[in-house]
Amino acid sequence: MSDEQKSLKQIIAFRKEKLADLRTAGVDPYPHSFSADHYSDQIKAEYSELEGQDVTIAGRIMSLRKMGKAAFTHVQDQTGQIQCYVRRDEVGPDQYTAFKKLDIGDIIGVTGYVFTTRMGEISIHAKAVTVLAKSIRPLPIVKEKDGETFDAFEDKELRYRHRHLDLVVNPEIKEVFVKRGKIIREMRNYLDDRGFLEAETPILQPLYGGAFAKPFVTHHNALDQKLYLRIADELYLKRLIVGGFDKVYEIAKDFRNEGMDRSHNPEFTMLEFYQAYVDYEYQMDQVEDLIRSVARQLDGLQVEWNGLAIDLEKPFSRRPILELLREATGHDLNNTNTEELARIARSFDLTLPEQTNYGQLLDLLMKELVEPNLIQPTFVIDYPKAISPLAKMHRSGDPELVERFELFIGGLEFANAFTELNDPLDQRQRFEDQARLRSGGDEEAQTMDENFLEAVECGMPPTGGVGLGVDRLVMLLTDQHSIRDVILFPAMRNK
C-alpha cells in the first residue's frame, strides 16, 4: 500500500526530525490553545479600516516561499486564505529559525499588521508567528496560476476516503456541507414552528417495516436476538400519533441493504413527519411549502440542477398515476391484471424479472416510461392499493386505489406520502397480502408487525404522513449530481 512507500516514509521521517528540532529549540509544536481575533475573509472585507492595524489569525500553511531572511506564506482558515509576510528582522532570529522548520500543512498563528504588497495582495506583515500544530504527513499540494490549476487533488476515491484532505485542499466543497446544515436546520425550524415534536425512534428494530427494502441484520448478544437496522421510522412514528402526539417528525438515518449508485447510499437521511387529522392533500400543500421555505434559505426558488431549470415557485402539478401511465402507454390500466401489464411492458421492450407481481410491474412501467420525464415538481397521486400497504383507501370509493403521493423533481423521487391507513382490519388484511407476496418470492414485501397492528387497533386518528429524502433535497439545492458529494463520508468498500 502506498503508505508503506519508502519516499513517503522519508518525508515523514524528515518532518519528525524538524519536530524534534523545534522541541530542542524550546518551541512547543503542539500548544494547548490560541486566540485569533480575525478571519481571513474579514480582513479582506474590512481592509480599509484594518490597514496598518494589528490582527491575529490562525490556520494552515498552504503555500510557502522562503527567501533567505524573509518568506511569504498563505495561511488558510475556515473562511479562506490570506498571505503573510514573515521577515527575520521583524519576528526576530529565534522565531525565524523556528519558522524555517515549518512545512506546508502545519497550523500556525500569525500576529501582525495588515498591508498590501507591491504586487497588490492584501497580506499580514508578521510580528509574531506561533506554531500551533506541526504536521508530519504531507498534504497534496494544489497550485494555481492565472486561474489555471496544477496538480489538482481530484481522484474521487482519495477524496471520499480522505475527506479531511478534500476539505483542506478543495475548500469550495465545504459550501455544499454548509448548505446541507442549513437545509436540515430549516426543516427543523419549519416543523418546530408549526408545533411538531421531534421524536427519536429505534434504529435497532426487532422487525423492520414502513418501506419496501432489504435490511441490514445484526445481533444483540445479551438478548440473543436478531435485530434489524431500520429501513424507515414510519411504524414507530405512527404509534406516537396513536399515543396522542398530534404532530411528530424525525430526521432519521435509514439503512437499506441494496445497491449503491449516484442517488443511493446504504445509509441515508430521511425526514418523516406525521400529522393527525389531516390527509394527503393537506400534506401535498405542506410539502410544497416546506421545500419552498428551505429553498428560500439557499439560492431561491429557481433552481438549476444537472443542466435543468427547475421552478419551485409554480404550484407543483398533481397527476394521478393511472393517467400518467395511460398517456405513456396508450393503455387504460384500470382493472388490468398482472398478465396484461406484463404484455404491455414487453411491448415497450422492457425486460421483466423472472418472478414479478402486479405492483412490481406498475413500478417498472413508471420508472421506465414516466418518472424520467417528471422534471418540474410533480406529485404523482392515487396509487394502486397493491403497492401501498400502509395507505388508506381512496375516498372516491375505487376499491383499487389508495390516497398516496410521490413527489418527483428532475426525474428523481423526493417524497412518498399517504393518508395513513387507520382501519385496523384493513391494515391486517394488507399485511396478510404482503405476507403472501413474500412467500411468493418478493423479498421486499413487508412483514406482519403485530405490535404496530395492536396500536392501530387501539384507535389511530386520521393522519397524513410524509417521508422526504434529505440527501436528494440537498443534491437538488446544491446542484450536485452524486449522493456521495452531499454525504461527508459516503460508504466505501473496506480497503
Partner RNA sequence: GCGCCAGUAGCUCAAUUGGCAGAGCAGUUGACUCUUAAUCAAUUGGUUGGGGGUUCGAUUCCUCCCUGGCGUACCA
Q: For residues 127-166, which are near RNA according to CB under 7 A?
A: 138, 140-145, 150-158, 160
Among residues 289, 317, 427, the alpha carbon closest in space to that of 378 is found at 317
Which residue's CB is nearer to RNA, number 184 or number 457? 184
Segment contacting RNA by CB under 7 A, of 217-225, 243-251, 255-263, 313-321: 255-263
User: What are the distances in angstroms from CA 332 to CA 18, 323, 335, 352, 412?
Assistant: 77, 8, 8, 20, 25
Is 180 near RNA (CB under 7 A)?
no
Per-residue contact string for residues 309-348; x = within reach of RNA by CB under 7 A: ----------------------------------------
Among 32, 164, 314, 495, binds RNA (CB under 7 A): 495
Is 53 near RNA (CB under 7 A)?
no
Please, which of residues 99-128 interact with RNA by CB under 7 A? 103-104, 115, 117-121, 123, 125
Is 306 near RNA (CB under 7 A)?
no
- Sign, Cα dihedral of 84, 89, 95, 97: positive
Is 177 near RNA (CB under 7 A)?
no
Among 220, 262, 296, 343, binds RNA (CB under 7 A): 262
| Shortest CB 95 distance to RNA, Å | 13
Contacting residues for 408 by C-beta, under 8 A, at least 6 apart: 371, 374, 377, 378, 380, 414
Which residue's CB is nearer to RNA, number 276 or number 449? 449
| Shortest CB 463 distance to RNA, Å | 19
Buried b (16+ CB within 10 A) or exposed e, 216-232: eeeeeeeeeeebbbbbb
Distance CA 151, CA 142 (A): 5
Among 199, 260, 301, 375, binds RNA (CB under 7 A): 260
Among 134, 239, 247, 256, binds RNA (CB under 7 A): 256
Segment contacting RNA by CB under 7 A, of 14-22, 194-202, 307-315, 458-466: 14-22
| Shortest CB 35 distance to RNA, Å | 26
Please, which of residues 369-408 interact with RNA by CB under 7 A? none
Contacting residues for 398 by C-beta, under 8 A, at least 6 apart: none
Among 31, 353, 440, 441, binds RNA (CB under 7 A): 353
Which residue's CB is nearer to RNA, number 242 or number 414? 414
| Shortest CB 155 distance to RNA, Å | 4
Which residue's CB is nearer to RNA, number 276 or number 384? 384
Is 285 near RNA (CB under 7 A)?
no
Buried b (16+ CB within 10 A) or exposed e, 162-191: ebebbebbeeebeebbebbeebbebbeebb
Among residues 135, 134, 133, 130, the alpha carbon closest in space to that of 56 is found at 130
Distance CA 124, CA 195 (A): 50
Is 479 near RNA (CB under 7 A)?
no
Is 215 near RNA (CB under 7 A)?
no
| Shortest CB 434 distance to RNA, Å | 14
Q: By CB under 7 A, how many residues form the interface with RNA?
A: 87
For 433, other C-beta atoms within 10 Å of its C-beta total 15
Are the C-beta atoms of 316 and 406 separated by less than 8 Å? no
Per-residue contact string for residues 421-460; x = within reach of RNA by CB under 7 A: -----------------------x----------------
Which residue's CB is nearer to RNA, number 367 or number 436? 367
| Shortest CB 69 distance to RNA, Å | 3
| Shortest CB 492 distance to RNA, Å | 4
Estimate the crossing angle of helix 450-457 against helix 234-243, to 10 degrees: 30
- Phi/psi at 247 (nearest 5 deg)? -135, 115
Among 41, 54, 340, 413, binds RNA (CB under 7 A): 413
Segment contacting RNA by CB under 7 A, of 46-54, 60-68, 235-243, 455-463: 60-68
Distance CA 248, CA 231 (A): 18
Segment contacting RNA by CB under 7 A, of 43-51, 65-73, 234-242, 448-456: 65-73
